[in-house]
Every structure is written in structure tokens, then in C-alpha cells.
Amino acid sequence: MSQNMLKYLIGGMGGIFALIVLIYVAISKKMQTKETKYARQLVSGTQSTALSFDVFLQKFYITCTKNPILRRYALKLRRRIEIINLEDEYLTRKQVAKIMLQAVIIVIPLTIVVIYMTHNNYLVMCSILLFELFFIETLLEGKVDGIDNKLLREQLDFFAEIRHAYHEFNMVEEAIYDVAQDDEKEVSRQAEKIYEILISDDPETELEKYYDIAPNSYLKEFAGVSYLTKEFGDRKDKDGASLYLKNLNNITQEMQIEILKRDKLDYVFQSLSMIAALPILFLDVVKNWAVGQFSFTRQFYNGTGGFLVQIALIIITYLCYILTRKLKDNGSVNTAANMENPWQAKLYKKKLVKKFVDYFIPKNGTKDYRKITQLLKDAASKLKLEWLYINRLCAAVAGFIGAVIILAVAHQTAINFQFTEPTSDYNLLGTMSESQEKKAMEVTEKDNVFLYKYQYDYDVKKEDLREEIAESDEYGNSSEEDLDAITDRIWEKLQIVQSEYIKWFEILIALLVMVIAYNVPYWLLIFQKIMRQMDMENEVMQFQTIILMLMKIERVNVEMILEWIERYANIFKEPISKCVNNYESGPWEALEELKNDISFQQLIRIVESLQAAVEKIPIREAFDELDTERAYHQEKRKESNERTISRKSMIGKVIGFAPMVLLFVGYLIVPLCLIGLTSMTSAFSSMSSMM
């Protein structure tokens, strides 16, 4: 290209650039006119770009529901959040997508790092990746608990504003409507729904529907008390205070106690779940340190023993992690997975499976049948009896197959160790240098020639092996003394390789694992029952608060109190529901049967007071001590919560730190001591024979 042409090209580009600048300046001036500014102001807020974050979240939600991996978590998350958001589809999708996006942003880089760091150890890599699934569950539950706790705190301010509005309007529905105008708070949607119920044509039916979708029991209590006050009117207590406002105060105090309880539980368990899972991350670290510092441990950590200890640690870690999460249950939004048609029900419908499972289920009316059904009730489990036994049988089959696979892999690990590990006499401390390790690997490769040849020849004799070694290219030039040592070494390796197969007693071990796995779902129910028993006193004290609110309202009877208690019951749900169903056939008899079905003394006292209120005295007199001893019961409730949290904290710390203790004691200290003592004993024996 000539210089003239280059000048013309540069000049043309400069002219085009100057023209663009002039056009930009002209357009900018035109955009500053009043008409343009006014049009832009009108359009502002009515358009959403394709890159809007809210639009992105809505699209990401659709992606999550279509993706088979993310779909399970997204729908599970949605089931919990839609209860809080109360028919707000847009907000529900937005919150689900936001939480899922945070989880994906955390998990994907974490997965890449895990695969990169553990690609040489598939066992640890698979264990950590499996742990990520539990981590996702914990993350999602933590986010939903945060939303629920936020709603609970908003309710404190909401009830305080209701008190002021009620003083102004002196009408329940008007006070609720006035406070519900604050659209920024999530509790406002609940208030609007309660207001719609109160002004509807059939508020009682609508209220029953709301009870099924209310995010917590306190909003149920508020809705119910508001309805009763609107229907029967407010009345003054003996001290001149409004009964409705006094009930609001009771609900507020209950919420304050619950918030404190949740905060303390969150504080106690905020790191225990992670501590319980940490040993999985340190398995390779401990192993590499031990092998690096003490070479004599190489055979243990790279052999069958180390592999089996790793598997045991991984299983214990997962169990402790699950138990720690169950301990932390703080009673927030609790919607179990869809139990109408789970995989157990689909599997049980198959004739062969049903026939096989029914063989293990105890017969109706037997002692075992009553024991299992009572355990399901005490544990507040949603499982049916046949579903429980499907879980037990599936766990047993998985346990047996898993044990056989683990034993087979352990034997293969021991064989691979003989073929791949450097052959050398290890010192007690330290490691081999690079040159020593290279020479040791050369010896291993020479030994492998004979191992490969006679690996499956179980009739070979040591003398035949020695002759083969003496005539080989690898060791043919060795002295007689060296040949004997080489033959002993290769023969010892060969015996190990040929003996590594699944033996009869290992099948017995696999059967023992199967029995243990069969009982694991049953033991988890027992653990859940123990945790429920800790909360029994707390639930009965909630019943006392409900009775305290209802007993002063006109036209309230024993049946209505039972219905309210049933609505908020969890641990005692089954016997109370049975009593409500049998109430029409005989109130006294139904309450007597309820008293026989329960064993908790405080609840028995409530039932006895209800029996007295059926025939003898008014409800207000039957529960008069609740009003006079209100302060005592509240202090007792706080003390009960403290005791429950303390017990859960103690159990949680034992379970949470157990894997870490087992890691250092069972995987590091005990092997070091045992192998060290064995090595020292062998060394002393060799020295004694030489003297």
C-alpha cells in the first residue's frame, strides 16, 4: 500500500469518526428537550429489559423446574415458601429462584475444586460430592428458616400495630385492614387474607381453609381469636381490660418465647453440622501426613485396613450429620415432602413386592404391631407401616450389597498395593528419597513379573518359584543367599495376592451389616421419638395458652377447646384427633379414652379439667388456675426451653464431634501405635536372632 493511499484511508476514518461525534452531540441535545424528558418519564417503570434481574430469576425458576437435577430441590423449596407467601406466585418463584441461584453459585465452584483436589482418590471424591447433596439441603433449609423467622419477627410489630388500630376503630376487621396496608412487610399478605376471611359470607369455612395454609400456629391463633371476637363480640376482663387485646398479648408472649428459643438453637447448632462433616475433608490430609512422617504406615493406609477404616468413618460421618440436623429442628415451617404417593407406595402396589413386604409386617393385633404403630405415632412420623418396612427392607438389601462391594474393593485394594508399592525395607521414621523410591519401584516391577505369572496358579510351590526366579533375566545373576531372600519376598507377596478373596466369614459380616441396616430406620424413629419427648412439655404449655384465651369467650365449650388443641397439636395429634372424632358418641368416655392413650402427666391434668367442665363446672372455673398462675407457667415454659436446648446442645456436641474424634483416634493415633509397636517388636526379634 502506497503512502498516499494510507493518508487517504486515515483521513477518511477520521472524517467518519468526526461525523459520528457530531451526530451523537445532536441527538444528546434533542434528548434534553421537555417533550423527550416527559415521554421518558412516562415510560419509566413500565418496561423491563431482557437482562432485568427479576426477569432473569423468573426464567431461572423455569429452568430449575425443567432440569431433572435441580427440579427436586426447587419443588421441595417451593412447597415451603409458597405457604409463607400465601398465593403470591410471582414472589414465590422469585424467592425460590434466588435461593437456588445462590446454591448453584456455591456448589458448582466447590464441585470443581473438590474434583481437582481429590481426582487421585475416587473414594474421598465421591464421599465429598455426596456430602454436597446434604450441604445443599442444609443451605436450602437455612434460607427458608430465615424467611420464616423474619415473618415471625414481623408479627411482633404487626400485633403491636393491631393493638393501636383496635383502640382507634374498636372493630377487629377494620384494625386488621388498616395495618395490612403496609405492602413492604410479608406479614401484610397474611393480614389481608385474614381480613378477607372475616368479611366473607362464610368466614367459618374460609377460616378452616386458612388453618391448612397458615405458615405458623401463631397466625392460626390470631385468625381464630379475631373471628371469635368478631362473631361473639369483645368483653372486658375482671380488671377492665379488653379480652381480645389480652389474648393478643398472650400470643405475642408465646412468639417472643419461640423467637428466643429459635435464636438459641441456631446459635448452638450453627457450626455443629459442618463440624460433623469435616472429617471427610481431612481423610486424605491425615493419611498423607502419616505416610510422609512414618513410612511403616504405608501398608496400612494404602491397604485393606485403611480402606475399611475410611469407609467406616464416612458412614459414621453421614449418620452423625443427619442426626445433628434432626436435633436442630426448631419447629419452623414444617411441610414434609409429598406423602400422598411416594416411591414406597408405588413400589408396594406391585403384587410380588407387596407379598414379600407383608411377610415381614407384624400381624394386626400382635404385640409387635402395637409397638411399631405406637412408635410411629410417638415419633410423629408421616410414614405408614408398610412404607416403614419397605424402607427397612431396601436398607437391608442396600446394606448387604454395599458391604459385599466394599469387601471386594478392599481385597482388590490389597492386591493393587502389592503390585504398585515400592519394595523396600522401611525405616521407622521418615520417607525414602527419590532415588531410593526409584530403585524400590524397579524391584517391584521385577517382582510383578512372577506375581502376574502365578497369581491364579494355586498349585505352585515355593521350590518351583525359586527355580523360576533363578533362571529369570531379572534375578538370574543373584547369589544363593539373595535368591532365598528374593524368593521369600515374592512368595509372601504371592500368598497375599492369592488369599485376597471374599471368605465365608466376610459373608457373615455382610449379613450382620444387612441386619444393622434393616434396623436403622427403626432406630431413627426411636431417636426422633426421644427428640419429640423433649418437646412434650413445651406443646402442653401451648395448649394451656390456647385454653387461657378461649375459656373467657362466650359460647366456648369443651368440644371447641378440643378442636383448637387438635389444630395446634403435633406430638399428641393422633390421640387428640381420635378424641374429637369420638366426642359425639360420649364426651366423658372420649376424654377418658384420651386420658388412657397418653402418659404425660401435665396433659392428663388438662384432660381431667375438661372432664370436669363437661358435666360439673363451667370451663372458666375448671381452668381458673391457668389465669392465676399465668406468670408461673410462663417462667416454667422459659425454664423448660432452656432445659431442652441444654439437652439438645449436649447431645449435639457429642454427635457432632464424634467423627472428628474418630478421625484422629481411630484413623491416626491407634494405627500409629499398633503398627509402631508391631514394627518395633519385629525389629527387636530380628536383632535378637542376629545376636
What DSSP state is assigned to residue 666? I
If you ran DSSP here, which 8-state letter would residue 584 be given?
G
Asked if residue 674 belongs to a domain, the reply is no
HSE-up (13 A, CA, CB side) for residue 122: 2
Average of pLDDT values for 186-202? 87
Mean pLDDT score of the chain, rounded to an integer?
Answer: 79
- Give the separation between CA 192 and CA 422, rounded to whole angstroms: 75
Split at pLDDT 50, 70, 90, the class of 613 is confident
Give the amino acid at 226: S
Q: In the structure, what pLDDT confidence band is assigned to residue 398 with cuts at 50, 70 and 90? A: very high
Would residue 212 count as lying in a domain?
A: no
Tell which of 100, 117, 134 closes a domain. Answer: 117
In a domain, 482, yes or no: yes
Q: For residue range 490-524, what is the model confidence (pLDDT) as tens digits?
A: 888 888 888 878 888 888 989 999 999 999 999 88
Rounded (5°) CA angle 23-24-30: 90
pTM assigned to the model: 0.72
Q: What is the DSSP letter of 240?
A: S
Q: What is the pLDDT of residue 50?
A: 43
Span 215-247, pLDDT tens digits: 888 888 888 888 888 887 877 776 677 888 888
353 in a domain, yes or no? Answer: yes
Residue 253, in any domain of the structure: no
Question: Can you tell me the mean pLDDT for 24-34?
Answer: 55
Query: Of 97, 117, 137, which residue is a domain's last?
Result: 117
pLDDT of residue 38: 44
- Angstrom distance (rounded) from CA 499 to CA 462: 16
The enclosing H or E element of 16 equals helix 3-31
Write out pLDDT tens, residues 330-343. 544 444 444 556 77
Cα 325 to Cα 138: distance, rounded to the nearest angstrom: 8
**Secondary structure of residue 200 in the 3-state scheme:** coil
In 3D space, the residue among 414, 406, 412 whose CA is nearest the CA of residue 303 turns out to be 414
Domain presence at residue 197: no
The total domain count for the chain is 2
As beta bridge partners, residue 236 has 242
Higher pLDDT, 135 or 39: 135
3-state SS, residue 594: helix
The C-alpha atoms of residue 277 and residue 324 are separated, in whole angstroms, by 10
Q: What is the DSSP letter of 455?
A: T
- If you average pLDDT over residues 21-27, what whole number do you get? 58
Lowest mean pLDDT among 40-44, 109-113, 433-437: 40-44
Domain that holds residue 416: 343-360+380-499
Residue 511: the pLDDT is 93
- Do residues 294 and 618 make contact, with C-beta atoms less than 8 angstroms apart? no
245, part of any domain:
no
**End residue of a domain, out of 117, 132, 162:** 117
Q: What is the percent of the chain where pLDDT is above 70?
A: 85
Phi (first) and psi of residue 335, to 5 degrees: -125, 110
Q: Residue 592 and residue 536: Cα distance in Å, rounded?
A: 20
Average of per-residue pLDDT across 171-176 = 88
* Distance separating alpha carbons of residues 142 and 268, to the nearest angstrom: 14
Written as nine digits, the cell of 685 is 526379634
129 belongs to a structural domain: no
Phi, psi (deg, nearest 5) at residue 430 = 80, 180
Q: Minimal CA–CA distance to 313: which of 484, 440, 149, 123? A: 123
Q: What is the pLDDT of residue 688?
A: 64
- How far is it, in rounded angstroms, from Cα 366 to Cα 345? 24
Question: pLDDT tens for residues 531-555?
Answer: 777 777 778 888 888 888 888 777 7
Q: How far apart are CA 179 and CA 176, in angstroms?
A: 5
| Burial (Cβ within 10 Å: 0-12, 13-18, ≥19) of residue 195 | buried
Amino acid at 508: L
